[in-house]
Amino acid sequence: MTSTTTGRARHTVAPSRAGLRWDRFGLPSLLLAPLLAVVLGVVGYPIVRTVWLSFHEGEYLMTGAFNGVDNYTEIFGDPYFLAALLRTTIFAVVCVVSTLLISLAIALVLDAGSWVARIVTVVVLLPWAMPRVASGIIFKWMFNDQYGIANWLLVSLGFEQFKGYAWFNDGFASLVAITIAVVWHSVPFIAISMLAGLRATRGEVLEAARVDGAGFYQQLLRVRLPMMKPLLVILGVMSTIFAYQSFDHFLVMTTPPGGPSHSTEVLSLLTWLQAFTVLDQGVAAAMAVVTFVLLAAITAIYVKLSKEGA
């Protein structure tokens, strides 16, 4: 398009050779310069630096001597790190699956498209606007053992064993409560995106399927979801990364952070504590690199999946 633009412009003012080059290279470079500065300065350099730090000693957040893969052997020999790795992965899978399913259900309900649905759409997106720290605190309170509304509700529904049930006493129950809080927070964005995707599938193909007598589920499974595949992949990647990165909820909801007794330690929290409480940036950097590689691999798998289908 650039060439057509300059081509037409020639009718009025014949641009000089320099002007042409400016329009082709100078201007776009200038426009991109701030972005590139940010990308290189606060993203690119830190990544390289983290990798570099992960091969060095780093006690008290001071860069020490090169120590090869010591930091990596240390973390892979640490049962708490390995447990956190596995725990984060399971947590992420549960979060992603439930987020996607709940979001799809909500999107289908809102797809009905009346004026009521339009209002409900705004309501659905609201939890996204609540700061994560605040939602963590509120869910922690709702899951309080004695005065929490969750236990009251469960007991009222006839589950007597939840009377005074201490959600944050062991890892599994804590993770259930945290998962609920995280999913509550991450569903809105995904659900609204899915709603948009569903709307976009309306058209000739869907109409044809309906004429052929396809029912609601057949339409959904055979026509609409396949059409949404690229979107679903992106949403899958996004929610996986949200889940792997969950930090605020864990920091606010568990006492001590990652407790009781290491049972809710996840990668992000463990890395951060390692860096800023244990003050060992070398080991923390190694943990960050492992997380990074893991997420990159997951993203690659998603992308490959989406290409195979297409």
The answer to whether the CB of 127 falls within 8 A of the CB of 185 is: yes
Q: Specify the residue, 120 or 209, whose C-beta has the smaller distance to another protein.
A: 120
Task: For residue 62, count other CB atoms closer than 10 A to its CB.
Answer: 10
Supply the minimum distance, in Å, between the C-beta of residue 198 and another protein: 10
Coil, strand or helix: which one is 69?
Answer: coil
Supply the minimum distance, in Å, between the C-beta of residue 95 and another protein: 15
Supply the minimum distance, in Å, between the C-beta of residue 253 and another protein: 11
Supply the minimum distance, in Å, between the C-beta of residue 41 and another protein: 8
At 258, which amino acid appears?
G
Supply the minimum distance, in Å, between the C-beta of residue 268 and another protein: 5
The length of the chain is 310
Q: Specify the residue, 81 or 244, whose C-beta has the smaller distance to another protein.
A: 244
Nearest to 266 by CA among 88, 19, 90: 88
Q: Specify the residue, 8 or 212, whose C-beta has the smaller distance to another protein.
A: 8
> 137 CB contacts (<8 Å, ≥6 apart)?
252
Coil, strand or helix: which one is 66?
Answer: strand
Enter the tokens of residue 47: 């990544």
